[in-house]
Amino acid sequence: MQNTIQVIGLKKSYRDLHVLKGVDLEVARGSIFALLGSNGAGKTTVVKILTTLLQQDSGTATVNGFDVVLQPSQVRQSISLTGQFAAVDDILTGRENIVMIARLRHIKHPHQVADDLLRRLGLTAAANRRAATYSGGMRRRLDIAMSLVGESPVIFLDEPTTGLDPEARIEVWNIIKELAASGTTVFLTTQYLEEAEQLANQIAILHEAGLS
């Protein structure tokens, strides 16, 4: 079976700081993969390389069969990223945020897509409020909703539950489980072993710049 994400010998340094010293990993299609590590272990660096935001010093990485360095636009067609800090537009309403992403993905009927996602993530009542008025949990759900636009086969979630209260965390967990059940490959990072165990089929621990 072909792996959705394949990483071999990934290295990345910032000047003298060796963040990644040769990371290898494989993620099977339709599974939930958790990358566990403490702050500064390099989790976000791995995510940035896999989502074409950053280039590695050496090693190769493919996502959905495309090389992140050689075929970045095909990779971007295949993925959605929910970054470490909820990247929602505060000035826009929840609905406007989703419609904006749908337009940028050149999807037909962006308003229809927005209504469906708002309903699915329980944001219908708040749809016409500016995102600035949302609670932490609602912002995260809107953030994830924006990543679900276009039904990308691979979704990256960088610390999706950091800073959320226990109730909001469970909501996000349920969303992630539903995603994987529908066949999406989920790559998530977390600081919590408990979260990784709850969700993931496969766990890797990133520490001392390598995997164990």
Nearer to other proteins, 111 or 207 (CB): 111
Q: Is-contact 200 188, C-beta < 8 A?
A: yes
- DSSP assignments along the chain, one per residue: --EEEEEEEEEEEETTEEEEEEEEEEEETT-EEEEE--TTSSHHHHHHHHTTSS--SEEEEEETTEETTT-HHHHHHHEEEE-SS----TTSBHHHHHHHHHHHTT-S-HHHHHHHHHHHTT-GGGTTSBGGGS-HHHHHHHHHHHHHTT--SEEEEESTTTT--HHHHHHHHHHHHHHHHTT-EEEEEES-HHHHHHH-SEEEEEETTEE-
Contacts to other proteins by CB under 8 A: 51-53, 73, 76-77, 79-81, 83-92, 96, 100-101, 103-106, 146, 156
CB 13 to other proteins: min, Å: 17
CB 144 to other proteins: min, Å: 12
CB 115 to other proteins: min, Å: 19
Nearer to other proteins, 4 or 80 (CB): 80
Beta bridge partners of 206: 211
Nearer to other proteins, 77 or 191 (CB): 77
Nearer to other proteins, 118 or 131 (CB): 131
Nearer to other proteins, 36 or 146 (CB): 146
Nearer to other proteins, 147 or 211 (CB): 147
CB 135 to other proteins: min, Å: 17
